[in-house]
Amino acid sequence: MWNFWKKRMQTGLLTEHPELETQQHTIAKTLKDQVKRHFAGSLAIRMVDSGSCNACEAECNALSNPYYALERLGIHFVASPRHADVMLLSGVVTANMWPYVMDCYEQLPAPKWVIALGDCPTNLSVFDKTFAIQGPVGESLPIAHIIPGCPPDPLTIMQGMLDFLSLLETQNIEHSEC
């Protein structure tokens, strides 16, 4: 599989926008360094879809493909909140999903952070508030960082994660000793 992508990169099919390529390499390198610094090289993320249109998830899924290959930077998506450092929350947070979102948050071991993926969790994006929607959740859930966009593309998500890690840096939070 890797040989397939390597060949495509060598033939230029993935390098039509060299500036994006350079930007991606720079973000990836810094991200890897920051994950090493703050999370001993392994940042675990529990993704929660609280009622999204699925576009945010599709962009997030792209991070696992051989081009972005987020795992090589030490960032892993995990199945249990008990194994996670961060909850990545997408969607408008429907009333039906709200108890599960809170359950997930409570099960994250401290110190824990919530990152809002896309515009939905904090401002509902293209959706209107109805009786079936609990969000926006900014006041009821401590959102540490927002990755804006509708949906944010993979590079924006990587940059958003980097901004979150830089935030930890400014707050002087060291997690790597844990």
128 touches ligand SF4 by CB under 6 A: no
Please choose, out of 37-45, 113-121, 128-136, 165-173, the segment that lies near ligand SF4 by the rule CB under 6 A: 113-121
- Which of the residues 51 through 70 are near ligand SF4 (CB under 6 A)? 52-53, 55-56
Q: At what angle do helices 154-170 and 55-62 cross, to 10 degrees?
A: 80
What is the rounded end-to-end Cα distance, in angstroms, of the chain?
A: 35
154 binds ligand SF4 (CB under 6 A): no
Q: How many helices (H) and strands (E) does the chain have?
A: 6, 5
Is 160 near ligand SF4 (CB under 6 A)? no
CA-to-CA distance for 146 and 115, rounded, in angstroms? 6
Q: From the CB of 55, what's the least distance to ligand SF4, in Å? A: 4
Span from 9-17, 48-56, 99-107, 136-144 in contact with ligand SF4 (CB under 6 A) = 48-56
Q: Counting contacts by CB under 6 A, is residue 88 touching ligand SF4?
A: no
> Dihedrals φ, ψ of 49, to 5°?
-95, 110
Q: Determine whether 37 is exposed, middle or buried from the number of CB atoms within 10 Å of its CB (0-12, 13-18, 19+).
A: middle
Q: Shortest Cβ distance from residue 156 to ligand SF4 (Å)?
A: 12
Chain residues in the site for ligand SF4 (CB under 6 A): 52-53, 55-56, 90-91, 118-120, 125-126, 150-151
